[in-house]
């Protein structure tokens, strides 16, 4: 298992990014959370099997239709054994 913290920059708010991320995370079987930041970015923590986390990062790098991702910053974290994926306010 691996866990990463991700910050997604660009036009990523008001385009359904968080809810699209939840759908994709559930499809891939990864856990964690996603939320909007006050600086206009979206941040998330993703945990799961390395291949699934890589696929989730690839999705975050593209985002849903209407998003324009300009940068993706990741930081490795220690896995916590989390379950489920939630959208935070």
Delineate the domains of the chain, giving CATH numbers in brackets: 2-87 (3.30.70.100)
Q: Choosing from 11, 35, 36, 55, which is the catalytic residue?
A: 36
Q: Angle, nearest 10°, between helix axes 17-28 and 50-62?
A: 160
Q: Assess whether 36 carries a catalytic annotation.
A: yes
Q: Choosing from 18, 22, 27, 35, which is the catalytic residue?
A: 18
- pLDDT band with cut points at 50, 70 and 90 for residue 5: very high
Q: Is pLDDT above 90 for 89?
A: no
Stated pTM of the model: 0.96
Average pLDDT over residues 38-56: 98
């Amino acid at each position: 298992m691996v866990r990463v913290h991700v910050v997604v920059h660009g036009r990523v708010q008001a385009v359904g990014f968080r809810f699209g991320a939840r759908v994709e995370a559930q499809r891939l079987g990864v856990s964690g959370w996603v939320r909007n930041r006050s600086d206009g970015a979206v941040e998330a923590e993703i945990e799961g099997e390395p291949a699934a986390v890589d696929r989730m990062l690839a999705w975050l790098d593209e985002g849903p239709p209407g998003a324009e991702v300009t940068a993706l910053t990741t930081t490795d974290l220690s896995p916590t054994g989390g379950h489920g994926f939630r959208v935070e306010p």
